[in-house]
Amino acid sequence: MKAGARIYVPVSIAESRISRRFDPIPCGTLYPNADEIAYLQRLVMYKDSAIIVLNKPPKLPVKGNLPVHNSLDALAAAALSYDYEEGPQLVHRLDRESSGILLMGRTKESASYLQQLFININVAKTSCLAWNDACEATFMRYWALVVGYPREKEGVICAPLTKVLLDDGKTERVMLAHPSGLEASQEAMTEYRVLGPMINGCSWIELRPLTSRKHQLRVHCAEALGTPIVGDYKYGWFVHRKWKQTPQVTIEPTSGEPYKLRRPDGLDVQKGSVLSKVPLLHLHCRELVLPNIAKFLGVLGQRSAGYYPKLSEKPDVLRFVASMPSHMKISWNLMSSYLV
């Protein structure tokens, strides 16, 4: 061996099985091999000349810094550039433990317009009326399984957020800002809607963020609604401490009969679902509606609102729906079909 020599070490069969258990990226490297490139490309739901839409699995970090080397932004240049010279850029982020739709811009221009749209819709608007209407139609919807049941079945959470540093600045935590307003805070708004009754102490809710703040949905669920997301050990630690010890029974409100979760034959409940000893985070970006940026790039920034002829037949907005990861599918099936 000489200094600078490159050594290739095969991944064992046992490690391969473990890596497939929760569908994370096979291994961490800044130079993905053919298998890793194929893995990331399988996550792609949609691709055109301007954007790439992926269905991110849990445990795959989106934005990397030391000691994270296998983040999606670091691997995208090699795995998702396709026929472009540069790799795609992130438009928004998802937490490492969460899953769902992730949007990337294939060019600097498309990424810049979409990043402005996610930050401030008024800044993203131009003289093109059709583009402005498409911007107004933009939204994201998340599905989450929470511990407990909100007091109201639907509503809007208006609760500013602030950041605090813990462990001598090594750890950052987001929390609700104090009403006094003496500390620096950011406006945060989330629409929510309960999807069904509480079963075995948990309920499914739909979340639509109206602002884009770090950990906004997790903090709003845990602190504003008082219903932490299942698997959120950072903001819902107080309910997960007694997760194993608490037998939870809920009465069906109309008939008075108790709900009871039963294990269907042949279904493995030890994959991070609600019945696991250590469940994974149950937060999934399920739906995204956004402007068809590939159609509008030719007219954005111009004074005229007219379209190029070749773009006139394309839709103004695009809609995507991402399937839930395996652990959330198991929890959904368990909680939606077995009423005793």
**Which residue out of 48, 73, 83, 95 is catalytically annotated?**
95
Q: Which domains can be identified in the chain, with CATH numbers?
A: 34-137+293-319 (3.30.70.580), 141-281+329-336 (no CATH)
95 is annotated as an active-site residue: yes
At which residue do the structure tokens 């019945």 appear?
A: 275
| Cβ contact 161:213 at 8 Å | yes
The tens digit of pLDDT for each residue in 99-118 reads 999 999 999 999 999 998 98
pLDDT at position 60 is 86
Question: Which amino acid belongs to residue 138?
Answer: T
Q: What is the CA radius of gyration of the chain?
A: 22
Q: For residue 249, is pLDDT > 50?
A: no
* Sign, Cα dihedral of 103, 123, 291, 188: positive
pLDDT in tens, 191-207: 999 998 888 888 999 99
pLDDT tens, residue by residue, 55-76: 999 988 887 554 455 678 878 8
Provide, rounded to the nearest whole percent, the portion of the chain with pLDDT above 70: 76
The overall average pLDDT reported for the chain is 80
Beta carbons of 334 and 269 less than 8 angstroms apart? yes
* HSE-up (13 A, CA, CB side) for residue 306: 3
